[in-house]
């Protein structure tokens, strides 16, 4: 189907689901925007322009896009500081609409978290949003390359023992959607940022998804438009 929001029920099937965190199951926009606005201003950058590229990437990769001539070691050092600040700031971190029911429906099914956050930040935000942490997770420490590189999604599929073609990724950002597609997965785009980046299907939030399984264990995702 097209990347526009589904207006009639669509059913996608998979053997495993790979979930981005920020913007997909956890709404952390308030923290992200606070921290990155301050960072942009401190470097003489337009905060609005900076916020167009921060979502989905690891911090050092965002910095490399915004300050392309700066040594990467400086980006990694500043990213460590940024991660500590973001981990300590959970004010306004809430679940994306429908996320609690969606995550409950995945209990016992093959799924993994694939996030650009590090383990500490992922734990802080999932806890703040009162969402269960998937047993299988790929965090910043697990990969050499940030999204839009597909490494994280490929590692998630491998950890679950499922071919990427049999996985569905859930993403909200351009970088994340590109990563899922590059991994050979279908991608369900979640939220307002996702619609413009040609996911396999798009939903406004997770309230429009229904998860069931067939007798052979196949996961069925039914999508209904808002």
- Would you give per-residue pLDDT tens digits along the chain (226 residues)? 445 444 578 999 999 999 999 999 999 999 999 999 999 999 999 999 999 888 889 999 999 999 999 999 999 999 999 999 999 999 999 999 999 999 999 999 999 999 999 999 999 999 999 999 999 999 999 999 999 999 999 999 999 999 999 999 999 999 999 999 999 999 999 999 999 999 999 999 999 999 999 999 999 999 986 4
Residues 81, 56, single domain; the answer is yes
Q: Is residue 3 part of a domain?
A: no
CATH of the domain at 201: 3.40.50.1000
Predicted confidence at residue 4, as pLDDT, reads 47
Query: For residues 24 and 29, what is the distance between their CA atoms, to the nearest angstrom?
Result: 11
* Domain count along the chain: 2
175 and 109, same domain (yes or no): yes
Same-domain pairing of 133 and 164: yes
Q: Please give the Cα distance from 109 to 124 (Å, whole number).
A: 23
- Any domain includes 110: yes
- The Cβ of residue 122 has, within 10 Å, a number of other Cβ atoms equal to 23
Could you confirm whether 20 is annotated as catalytic? yes
Catalytic entry in 22, 29, 166, 172: 22
Q: Which own/partner pairs from 213-216 qualify as long-range (CB within 8 Å, at least 24 positions apart)? A: 213/109, 214/13
4, part of any domain: no
User: What's residue 174's pLDDT?
Assistant: 94
Neighbours of 84 (CB within 10 A): 13
Q: Quick one: pLDDT at residue 7? A: 59
| Active-site residue flag, 118 | no
pLDDT of residue 1: 42
Q: What is the predicted pLDDT for the residue at 156?
A: 98
Name the nearest CA neighbour of 191 among 176, 202, 175, 177.
202
Q: Rounded to 5 degrees, what are φ and ψ at 166? A: -100, 10
Preceding omega of 196 cis (within 30 degrees of 0): no
d(CA 197, CA 176): 10
Are 213 and 112 members of one domain? yes
Q: Quick check: is 2 in a domain?
A: no
The residue segments making up the domain with residue 156 are 10-28+92-223
Same domain, 147 and 45: no
What is the reported pTM? 0.90
Residue 201 forms part of a structural domain: yes
219 within a domain of the structure (yes/no): yes
Per-residue confidence (pLDDT) for residue 225, from 0 to 100: 62
For residue 19, being part of any structural domain is answered with yes
Q: Are residues 137 and 209 in the same domain?
A: yes
């Amino acid at each position: 189907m097209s990347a526009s929001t589904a207006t009639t029920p669509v059913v996608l099937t998979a053997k495993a689901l790979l979930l981005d965190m920020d913007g997909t199951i956890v709404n952390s926009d308030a923290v992200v925007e606070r921290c990155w606005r301050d960072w942009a201003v401190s470097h003489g950058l337009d905060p609005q322009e900076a916020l167009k590229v921060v979502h989905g990437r690891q911090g050092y990769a965002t910095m490399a896009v915004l300050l392309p001539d700066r040594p990467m070691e400086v980006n990694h050092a500043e990213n460590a500081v940024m991660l500590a600040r973001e981990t300590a700031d959970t004010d306004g971190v809430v679940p994306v609409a429908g996320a609690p029911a969606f995550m409950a429906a995945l209990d016992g099914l093959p799924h993994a978290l694939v996030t650009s956050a590090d383990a500490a930040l992922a734990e802080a935000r999932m806890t703040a949003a009162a969402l269960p942490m998937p047993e299988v997770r790929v965090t910043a420490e697990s990969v050499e390359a940030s999204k839009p590189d597909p490494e994280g999604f490929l590692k998630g599929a491998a950890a679950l023992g499922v071919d990427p073609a049999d996985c569905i990724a859930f993403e909200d950002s351009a970088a994340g959607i590109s990563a899922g597609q590059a991994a050979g997965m279908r991608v369900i785009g979640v939220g307002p940022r996702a619609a413009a980046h040609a996911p396999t299907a798009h939903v406004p939030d997770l309230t429009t998804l229904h998860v069931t399984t067939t007798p052979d264990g196949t996961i069925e995702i039914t999508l209904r438009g808002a």
